[in-house]
Amino acid sequence: MSISLPETFAKLPRYPLLYPHPSPIHPLPTLTKHLTPNPRSNPVISLFAKREDHSSPLACAGNKYRKLEYIVPDILTNSSPNGPGSTTGPTPTTTTLVTEGAIQSNHTVQVASVARQLGLEAIIILHKATGGGLTASTDPTAFLRTGNVQIARLLGAEVRMLEDSSTVDSDDRITPILEELRARGSVPYWIPSGASLHPLGGLGYARAAFEIAAQEEELLGEDGRFDYVFVACGSGSTVGGLIAGFKLLQKVEAPTRLDGRVVRRKVIGILTSPTKPREFHEGRVLGFARRAARLIGLDPERDVTPDDVCLDDRFVGTAYGVLDSESKHMLALMAQHEGVIVDPVYTAKVMRGVVHWLQEGELIKDWRQQHFNISSSQSRVNVLFIHTGGQTALSAYADI
């Protein structure tokens, strides 16, 4: 399947890390029936999953590889500053990728895998106090050495674990590590946690929006589309990139207008951490969406508005990385109804959101507000859950 991008977007450098074919989208018929037992209901709801955990041949496939595809060309040219404490201007060739995350970070594993692919070294910095996964673990020793930590080491990454302090700025923790590397002759390339703060971090999921649109036609027919796209919102650029991509799609495809309004694909970001209030994340995602929008040829202020950002903070649980009873139930529900394994940190919470929106009638209420004049006999709502990977962390959660 070829993905056709507008010229400005298509010219942006990209290094392929994914399979040459799109990550699959498949229906979730058993879960759909379980959640919507009345087949004659109006509108009819159909659930689908986009399997980003099947997107790449590299280790622990997931959403970060899409982001890294647009960052790798910059790594290879080393044209951006190399993290806190660095200077601008020409620099030698990168020798070492450096990134950070929570103990069971998916992002750090994917960066380590990309380093192997590029013939570079990798140093991943894991913060013990980020979130509550370690504190809540019934086996802290295993939590520190299994799951993604084990895989990162297997990939040859140097793993450094730091004791976080809320009084210490992140740059103050990272700068000495980067300076140490430079002092011994290495050339580090700094990738912020989740790749979201990187200037190119949103481009991968802007492109994913076009991939989803191409798959829609095959799965749903010429006039079909996914009305709702549910995805985890952690660091934020996955959601922001999708928003920017779908806004660009509205400009290049013939929009469906109902009573003079454009019917759009609505991205719903399910927040996965209670550390910051929803308003903080809304501003952050809007900024990421506008940054990506500018790079792909949109007018960021005019084309991307606060109304495009929809985040739900009701499923964050007690702390980032803590597997609460509701998320544990969702792991079992997905496994036993669809044979699909979700992860304990992100996608279990996303599916909690999907289930809530369906069972509480919120999705239908929202859909009817936008589609109030469609004939009920033709009504159908297509819901896409984006599975961003992360199952490799499961072995660290010993009480599952």
Catalytic positions, written as ranges:
105
Domains of the chain: 7-58+200-396 (3.40.50.1100), 64-195 (3.40.50.1100)
Question: CB-based contacts of 360: which residues, under 8 Å, 6+ apart?
Answer: none
Tell me if residue 207 falls in helix, strand or coil: helix
Tell me if residue 205 falls in helix, strand or coil: helix
* Predicted confidence (pLDDT) per residue in 256-307, tens digit: 544 445 568 999 999 999 999 999 999 999 999 999 999 999 999 999 999 9
Q: What is the DSSP letter of 265?
A: P
Tell me the three-class secondary structure of 310-340, residue by residue: EEECCCCCCCCCCCCHHHHHHHHHHHHHHCC
Q: Cα separations (Å) of 306 from 54, 145, 203, 223, 290?
A: 32, 41, 19, 28, 10
Quote the CA–CA distance of 179 and 172 in Å, as a whole number.
11
* Predicted confidence (pLDDT) per residue in 196-211, tens digit: 999 999 999 999 999 9
* Predicted confidence (pLDDT) per residue in 316-331, tens digit: 999 999 999 999 999 9
Nearest to 298 by CA among 257, 240, 259, 226: 240
* Predicted confidence (pLDDT) per residue in 61-112, tens digit: 999 999 999 999 999 997 554 666 555 455 569 999 999 999 999 999 999 9
Q: Write down the pTM of the prediction.
A: 0.93
Quote the CA–CA distance of 113 and 87 in Å, as a whole number.
27
